[in-house]
């Protein structure tokens, strides 16, 4: 299963999909091809999905990581998410655990709109 929290209804619905997958003995690797906010939400989903050892044949704890240039992933946050030794830390602050850099939002908006 590959729930995308931006499409399936959020973290709660993604967790429901992951639980259903676990009940059927199926792997769950959330889909998160996009910006930093979507990735942060997906990391929170991974924090509440069943442990890999609880599901036979599970890949457990895997996250699809976009390696292409993407300013919405790399420039949007005050403290960017990143891969270190093949792992991504789950943000621990309030809500999604991230802080959006508002000046980066304005700069990306100007870039997108040509203004």
Model confidence over 71-101: pLDDT tens digits? 888 899 999 888 888 888 899 889 999 999 9
Query: Is 41 considered catalytic here?
Result: no
Q: The domain containing residue 79 runs over which residues? A: 5-113
Of the candidates 21, 31, 46, 104, the residue annotated as catalytic is: 31
CA atoms within 13 A on the CB side of 102: 0
- Find the CATH number of the domain harbouring 19: 3.20.20.120
* pTM across the whole model: 0.85
Number of separate domains in the chain: 1
Query: 6 CB contacts (<8 Å, ≥6 apart)?
Result: 34, 38, 41
Residue pair 55/24 in contact (Cβ under 8 Å)? The answer is no
Q: What three-state secondary structure class fits 43?
A: helix
Write out pLDDT tens, residues 18-45.
889 888 878 788 888 889 999 999 999 9
Residue pair 30/5 in contact (Cβ under 8 Å)? The answer is yes
Residues linked to residue 88 through DSSP beta bridges, in sequence order: 83
């Amino acid at each position: 299963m590959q729930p995308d929290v931006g499409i399936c209804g959020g973290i709660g619905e993604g967790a429901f999909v992951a639980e259903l997958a676990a009940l059927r003995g199926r792997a769950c690797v959330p889909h998160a091809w996009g910006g930093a906010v979507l990735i942060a939400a997906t990391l929170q989903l991974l924090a509440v999905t069943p442990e890999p050892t609880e599901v036979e044949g599970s890949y457990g704890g895997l996250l699809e990581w976009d390696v292409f240039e993407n300013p919405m992933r790399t420039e949007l946050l005050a403290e960017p998410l990143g891969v270190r030794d093949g792992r991504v830390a789950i943000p621990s602050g309030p809500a999604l655990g991230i802080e959006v850099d508002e000046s980066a939002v304005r700069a990306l908006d100007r870039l997108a709109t040509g203004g």
